């Protein structure tokens, strides 16, 4: 187990066993296609973001797994990366799974079975954060919404910065959006949050979110990101690389962003650093990161 130390980032989120299969193309509805040999890799948005954050700042994960071979593998991967796992609770429900298809151009299709992740309670979150006292709390939506709301409330009440990556996207209470500093979304998620039409200009999406959250970051893949505050919306350039697998790029961005903010970085500069981290990830296969 990682040795206890001053926690800069607490990630409230999921840990999954990712089962990854390479396919020549995604199947059409009702169709079966042949894939390559399956890879079993530690994943889940919470785990991925915690490992990304731990590259930059002291980080803990608050989540749930079962004490089986999959759960033990996930905890070991976190600890190898330097993540504090004292607040990863063991439950009876099977450890979460994600089933991922990856095409030759690096695009992916993902189905997540929450399983143990659904057992994370608001009480778990509050108790963990009371003990950790982080500067930044980072959350996603692969755990119950009530637990994410508890994380946001704790951050607001205790002077911590709350960062939310609302994926998989779902309707969000206004009070949750209002606590975000920043709300980190891609263009599809941004359009869903503000009710915009698909294909809406990304600058317009960022502008539409400004005022609802303290700050926003709308990611745009290799084109970078748009950072919005109460005073402006600015573009932060991205990096173009030869893409191998896009799985986990958004998690790397969110985790690195939270860690850079926790160590005193300004939002635009932190978004630039997160862009560079995500670019490194997509240029490497999952099992070599």
**HEC assignment per residue over the chain:** CCCCCCCCEEEECCCEEEEEEEECCCCCCCCCCCECCCEEEEECHHHHHHHHHHCCCCEEEEEEEECCHHHHHHHHHHHHCCCECCCEEEECCCCEEEEEEECCCCCEEEEEECHHHHHCCHHHHHHHHHHHCCCEEEECCCCCHHHHHHHHHHHHHCCCEEEECCCCCCCCCHHHHHCCCCEEEEHHHHHHHHCCCCCCCHHHHHHHHECCECCEEEECHHHCEEEECCCCEEEECCCCCCCCCCCCHHHHHHHHHHHHHHCCCCHHHHHHHHHHHHHHHHCCCHHHC
C-alpha span between 35 and 38 (Å, rounded): 8
- Residue 230: per-residue pLDDT: 86
Q: Quick one: CA torsion of 287, 99, 104, 240, rounded to 10 degrees?
A: -70
Asked, for residue 28, whether it belongs to a domain, the answer is no
In a domain, 23, yes or no: no
Is residue 19 situated within a structural domain? no
CATH code at position 206: 3.40.1190.20
Give me the pLDDT at residue 3, please.
43
Handedness of CA 218, 261, 211, 49 (dihedral sign): positive
Q: What is the CA 157 to chain-centroid distance, rounded?
A: 23
Residue 204 lies in a domain: yes
**Tell me, what's the pLDDT at 248?**
80
* Structural domain count, the chain: 1
By the 8 A CB rule, do 35 and 118 touch? no
Residue 102 lies in a domain: no
Indicate whether 219 belongs to any domain.
Answer: yes
Task: Give the pLDDT confidence of 8-63 residue by residue, as tens digits.
Answer: 999 999 999 999 999 999 999 999 999 999 999 999 999 999 999 999 999 999 99
Do the domain assignments include residue 40?
A: no
Whole-number pLDDT of residue 1: 44
- pLDDT of 61 reads 98
Residue ranges in the chain whose pLDDT is less than 70: 1-5, 286-289
Q: Could you list the active site residues?
A: 251
| Count of Cβ atoms closer than 10 Å to residue 3 Cβ | 6
Q: Are 118 and 38 in contact (CB under 8 A)?
A: no
**Dihedral (CA of 131, 9, 139, 50) sign:** negative
Name the nearest CA neighbour of 55 among 234, 254, 231, 269.
254
- Write out the residue range of the structural domain in which residue 171 sits: 9-13+45-91+117-288
In a domain, 230, yes or no: yes
């Amino acid at each position: 187990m990682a040795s206890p130390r001053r926690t800069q980032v607490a990630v409230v989120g999921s840990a999954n066993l990712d089962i990854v299969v390479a396919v020549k193309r995604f199947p059409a509805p009702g169709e079966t296609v042949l894939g390559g040999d399956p890879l079993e890799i530690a994943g889940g948005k919470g785990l991925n973001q915690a490992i990304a954050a731990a590259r930059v700042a002291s980080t803990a994960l608050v989540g749930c797994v079962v004490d089986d071979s999959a759960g033990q593998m996930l905890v070991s991967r976190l600890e190898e990366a330097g993540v504090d796992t004292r607040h990863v609770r063991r439950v009876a429900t099977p450890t979460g799974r994600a089933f991922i298809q990856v095409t030759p151009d690096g695009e992916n299709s993902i189905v997540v079975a929450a399983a143990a992740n659904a057992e994370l309670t608001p009480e778990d979150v509050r108790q963990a954060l009371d003990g950790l006292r982080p500067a930044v709390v980072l959350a996603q939506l692969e755990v119950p919404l009530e637990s994410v709301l508890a994380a946001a409330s704790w951050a607001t009440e205790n002077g911590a910065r709350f960062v939310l990556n609302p994926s998989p996207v779902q309707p969000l209470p206004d009070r949750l959006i209002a606590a975000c500093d920043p709300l980190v979304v891609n263009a599809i998620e941004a359009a869903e949050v503000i009710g915009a039409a698909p294909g809406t200009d990304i600058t317009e999406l960022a502008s539409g979110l400004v005022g609802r959250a303290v700050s926003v970051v709308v990611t745009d893949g290799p084109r970078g990101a748009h950072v919005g505050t109460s005073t402006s919306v600015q573009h932060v350039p991205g990096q173009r690389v030869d893409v191998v697998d896009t799985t986990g790029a958004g998690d790397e961005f969110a985790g690195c962003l939270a860690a850079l903010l926790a160590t005193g970085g300004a939002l635009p500069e932190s978004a630039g650093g997160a862009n560079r981290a995500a670019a490194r990830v997509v240029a490497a296969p999952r099992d070599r990161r």
